Amino acid sequence: MKQPAGHHLAELNVGRLKADVGDPLVAEFIDNIDRINGMGKRMPGFVWMLEGSGAPGATSHAIGGDPRYVPNLTVWEDVASLRSFVWDTVHARFLNKRQEWFDALEEQHFVMWWVPEGHRPSLDEALDRLEMRRAQGDTDQAFGWDALGGAKAAE
């Protein structure tokens, strides 16, 4: 899938924590969110990230009223930038341990899509894209790593 001119790559990854923020079961994850996010913000190609309000990461943005169901919403200049952050940094170690802190979700929980440069997607917009991917599979409007050809998949 080719990146349209004048566009960046948005991604949403959602998860449901196994316990409330503050519970020792998820402490390692919660204690490292700001460090990992800070590293991401310093990566070449990083554009923007949905921030929380006083809570670690974006954990204050509970999805569907469930405080354990949390998003990670970012924008990157291109696929290579996101891929590098996800797979070539300490982020990969945390990604590989996600089953320790997050429930296994039955539904698709990850989506990417192209956004015009300068656009900052809302969480509602991102959740709409996720629903689109759940309903239609990979399309030009909502897709996963496989649609990008040869990318490692974290889904």
Give pTM, 2 decimals. Answer: 0.90
Considering the domain boundaries, does residue 153 fall inside one? Answer: no
Number of domains in the chain: 1
User: Residue 121 belongs to a domain with what CATH number?
Assistant: 3.30.70.100
- Kindly provide the b/e burial profile for residues 105-144, where b requires at least 16 CB atoms within 10 angstroms of the residue's own CB: eeebbbbbbbbeeeeebeeebbbbbbebbeeeebeeebbb
CA distances from 3 to 10, 11, 44, 134 (A): 11, 14, 17, 22
- Show the domain range for 56: 7-148
58 vs 43: CA distance, rounded Å = 19
Q: Which pLDDT belongs to residue 155? A: 40
Of 54-58, 61-65, 72-76, which has the strongest mean pLDDT? 72-76
Lowest mean pLDDT, pick from 39-48, 60-69, 88-97, 132-141: 60-69
Q: Can you say how many angstroms the Cα of residue 40 is from the centroid of all Cα atoms in its chain?
A: 11
| Dihedral over Cα of 78, 30, 127, 96: its sign | positive
Q: Which two tokens stand for residue 130?
A: 């996720």
pLDDT of residue 153: 44
Q: 155 in a domain, yes or no?
A: no
Residue 110 placed within a domain: yes
> Per the domain annotation, does 44 fall within a domain?
yes
Q: What is the pLDDT of residues 11-49, one digit of tens each?
A: 999 999 999 989 999 999 989 988 999 999 999 999 999
* Angle, alpha carbons 110-15-111 (nearest 5°): 10
CB atoms within 10 A of CB 26: 19
- Tell me the three state secondary structure of residue 19: coil
Q: Residue 112: inside a domain, yes or no? A: yes
Is 92 contained in some domain? yes
- State the greatest distance between any 2 C-alpha atoms of the chain, in Å, as a whole number: 45
